[in-house]
Amino acid sequence: MQLLTKNKLLTGIFAVLGVAGIAAWAYQLAGGLGVTGMSNANSWGLYIAMFMFFVGLSAGGLIVASSASVFHITEYKKVAMPAIILSTVCICCAGAFVLIDLGGIQRIWHLFASPNASSPLVWDICVITLYLFINVLYLHFMHKGAERAVSVLSRFALPTAVLVHSVTAWIFGLQIAKEGWFSAIMAPIFVASAMDSGLALLLIVLIVLNAAKLFETPKKLIASLAGLLATCIAIDGFLIFCEVITMAYPGAEGAATLAVMVSGPTAPFFWAEVVGGLLVPFLMLVFAKNRQNTALVTVASVLVVAGVLCKRLWLLLTAFVIPNIVGAPGIMSDAWMMGGSYAPTAIEFLIVLGVPSLGALAFMAIGSKLLVPAMAKEHAPARSSAAADLDLEAQVA
Amino acid sequence: MTKLGMAISLDRCIGCQTCANACKMQNSVPMGMQWNRVVTEGCDVMDDAHGTYPDLSRTYLPIACQHCENPACLKVCPTGATYKDDKGRVEIDYDNCIGCRMCMAACPYNARSFNWEDPVRDPDFKYGDKDVPVRTKGMVEKCTLCKERTDRDQEPMCVKCCPTKARVFGDLDDPKSAVSQLIREKRAGVLLEEKGTKPQVHYFD
């Protein structure tokens, strides 16, 4: 528990936020989802946005770690351990948000007793469970130093990671009811933004661990990961542009939805992402010299993570702004109103802060168990890491 | 096979909301919720008019669950709580509903409502049909095509109570039924046809 005891202040803050989050959830269970800002008109809110966000954040870790084996990128292996711990914690946070969003969690056993195979939500629950299982198994094999098993597992881990993001995208992208979601590009966009936000979070964590002298990442590797991040940002930006131009060009229904995004209620999130989360960090990281500068990489990574959070919000909420039938019974808020609106409540904010705080505590606890000994081992014998890597490659081949 | 459905005359509808109230009474729909509603088309508030004076018009659209032949809500329901019954109605098994609200996101017609809190009934008792099940906090609900009444071979309450007889109910699979004939002769259309959900509620002028 070295990580937890060494940073008492941080541990304390996370613990307080975590307890507050749990208390808020208990309050929500007692009062119903009515304690949130959600309504029939805007039936999904912050929780589902955070679910998408954390599924995405989980990507970076597993993709970087498994690419190390699948594509023989030896240097990535060094950060595989923190990467997978991060990925495991984030996917648990994502799962927690789905459960928190359920209005009838006491009846959840029906999900296992009579699952509907055509529901994207069922697919997602299966894939996320599989993904979590692979993460835990990966940690287990790495901890035991079973290199062969890690390399075999990573061949399954990589496609599963891509699948997790695609299936999460299909929860939204397959809904013909929502103009803002119904698009084939949804899955690629989810994979791309999962890659950039996940990588950015991994970089932040590695830099923090470096600064705290708890886990050492070579500067060259940080620069290399930052280069990969720049590529992912570019791909994400390109896919968003494809979607936007397809919405705009016919000047029909899509254009009305686009107007909500670029100049309507969700516009602040859209522009914050496009400028702050894509353009600025890309311009920072596209120059090789900047990637050597840890401070700049940190700023760019924070911007990317914040940008993707904004993206989850505009992606989710834009679809609720214009109903297909104004005033339909499922959007009424009172007898005279024809529509509704959404603003999260304090309870939602407490829960949204609480879940990642518990996640951070979990990361610190697992990190103390798995990272600190790994560091100690690396420093003790005089065996060079390059030689060790060569050894591993020989085994894989 | 039976495929229960409805045809609604938009010409006859006068926007009196009697169907909306009849539905609420019959199905014990709690405060702040309606399964059925008469919307003033093209307006931000109820009973407004659209256009500029003196060229004004006001049209009404009664809307509830469309009991689609290809229901988007049914496909996405993770527990199978939403189902299509043998009479072609889209129904909810409330005890199976986990409150994920996937169906609400999937319904193009926004026909579904969620019990965000413990439902409040005013007057404070379970008014309505004795056979209608009570829904509780965390469950989704919507128009059942008056399942309890239609099971007893009665018309849905909105049909029975409409003062202008704008609504006609019957079996869409029977070409001789009044509703089938009307749909044929009046060339009735459906809402959001482009979504491909094939509603069993039809509208004509």
A175: closest chain B residue by CA? B106
Dump pLDDT digits (tens) for B68-114: 999 999 999 999 999 999 999 999 999 999 999 999 999 999 999 99
Averaged over A228-240, what is the pLDDT?
Answer: 96
Of A43, A326, A338, the CB nearest to B114: A43
B42: closest chain A residue by CA? A326
In the predicted structure, residue A384 carries a pLDDT above the cut 50: no
Structural domain total, chain B: 1
Dump pLDDT digits (tens) for A91-122: 999 999 999 999 999 999 999 999 999 999 99
Percent of chain B residues topping a pLDDT of 70:
100
Averaged over A59-88, what is the pLDDT?
Answer: 88
- Strand pairing report for B4-9 and B201-204: parallel
Strand (E) positions, chain A? Answer: none
Q: What is the helix (H) or strand (E) element at residue A76, kind and residue range? A: none
Structure token digits, residue B190: 């459906």
pLDDT of amino acid A333: 63
- The length of chain A is 397
In the predicted structure, residue B115 carries a pLDDT above the cut 70: yes
The maximal CA–CA distance of chain A, rounded, in angstroms, is 77
Domain that holds residue B86: 4-204
In the predicted structure, residue A334 carries a pLDDT above the cut 80: no
Dump pLDDT digits (tens) for A149-163: 998 999 999 999 999
Residues of B in contact with A177 (CB under 8 A): 72, 105-108, 195
pLDDT of amino acid A375: 65
If one counts every other C-beta atom within 10 angstroms of the C-beta of residue A163, the result is 19
Q: Which of B36, B76, B136 to mutate to test the interface with A (most CBs of A within 10 A)?
A: B76
pLDDT of amino acid A94: 97
A6: confidence class by pLDDT, cuts 50, 70, 90: confident
A345 touches chain B (CB under 8 A): no
pLDDT of amino acid A385: 46
Q: Could you report how far apart the first and last alpha carbons of chain A are, in Å? A: 37
Averaged over A354-365, what is the pLDDT?
Answer: 95
Rounded Cα distance, A311 and A193, in Å: 9
Dump pLDDT digits (tens) for A247-301: 999 999 899 999 999 999 999 999 999 999 999 999 999 999 999 999 999 999 9
Tokens 């280069």 locate to: A227
Q: Are A396 and A69 in contact (CB under 8 A)?
A: yes
Rounded Cα distance, A19 and A119, in Å: 34
pLDDT of amino acid A382: 43
Percent of chain A residues topping a pLDDT of 90:
74
List C-alpha distances in Å: A378 to A249, A385, A389, B50: 57, 8, 12, 75
Pairwise CB contact (< 8 Å): B110 & A125: no
pLDDT of amino acid B111: 96
pLDDT of amino acid A60: 79
Q: Are B113 and B140 in contact (CB under 8 A)?
A: yes
Pairwise CB contact (< 8 Å): A121 & B114: no
In the predicted structure, residue A378 carries a pLDDT above the cut 70: no
Averaged over A344-352, what is the pLDDT?
Answer: 96
Rounded Cα distance, A355 and A25, in Å: 10
Residue A367: half-sphere exposure toward Cβ, Cα within 13 Å: 25
Structure token digits, residue A116: 């509907």
| Residue B48's CATH number | 3.30.70.20
Q: Is B176 exposed, middle or buried (0-12, 13-18, 19+ CB in 10 A)?
A: exposed
In the predicted structure, residue A383 carries a pLDDT above the cut 60: no
Whether the ω angle into residue B175 lies within 30 degrees of 0, i.e. cis, is no
B44: confidence class by pLDDT, cuts 50, 70, 90: confident
In the predicted structure, residue B137 carries a pLDDT above the cut 50: yes
Q: Which of B110, B142, B190, B194 to mutate to test the interface with A (most CBs of A within 10 A)?
A: B110
DSSP tag of A103: S
Tokens 């790495």 locate to: A142
pLDDT of amino acid A337: 67
Rounded Cα distance, A209 and A367, in Å: 10
Averaged over B20-26, what is the pLDDT?
Answer: 96
Rounded Cα distance, B59 and A87, in Å: 54
Structure token digits, residue B8: 């609604």
If one counts every other C-beta atom within 10 angstroms of the C-beta of residue A159, the result is 11
Structure token digits, residue A163: 């699948």
pLDDT of amino acid A327: 86
DSSP tag of B155: P
In the predicted structure, residue A169 carries a pLDDT above the cut 60: yes
Q: What is the helix (H) or strand (E) element at residue A186, kind and residue range? A: helix A186-211
Tokens 């024809």 locate to: A338
Q: Work out the minimum CA distance from A362 to partner chain B, whole angstroms.
A: 27
Structure token digits, residue A17: 């936020």
A38: closest chain B residue by CA? B116
Quick one: which of A58, A86, A10, A64 has its CA closest to A371? Answer: A86
pLDDT of amino acid A8: 86
In the predicted structure, residue A339 carries a pLDDT above the cut 80: no
Mean confidence (pLDDT) of chain A = 90
Query: Which residues pair with residue B7 across a beta bridge?
Result: B168, B202
pLDDT of amino acid B1: 85
Averaged over A199-222, what is the pLDDT?
Answer: 91
Rounded Cα distance, A352 and A372, in Å: 29
In the predicted structure, residue A395 carries a pLDDT above the cut 80: no
Mean confidence (pLDDT) of chain B = 95
If one counts every other C-beta atom within 10 angstroms of the C-beta of residue A229, the result is 27
B147: confidence class by pLDDT, cuts 50, 70, 90: very high
Q: Are A311 and A2 in contact (CB under 8 A)?
A: no
In the predicted structure, residue A16 carries a pLDDT above the cut 50: yes
- ipTM of this predicted structure: 0.93
pLDDT of amino acid A392: 43
Q: Are B168 and B148 in contact (CB under 8 A)?
A: no
Task: Tell me which amino acid residue B119 is.
Answer: P
pLDDT of amino acid A44: 96
Averaged over A54-67, what is the pLDDT?
Answer: 88
Q: Which of A44, A105, A107, A123 to mutate to test the interface with B (most CBs of B within 10 A)?
A: A107
pLDDT of amino acid A380: 56
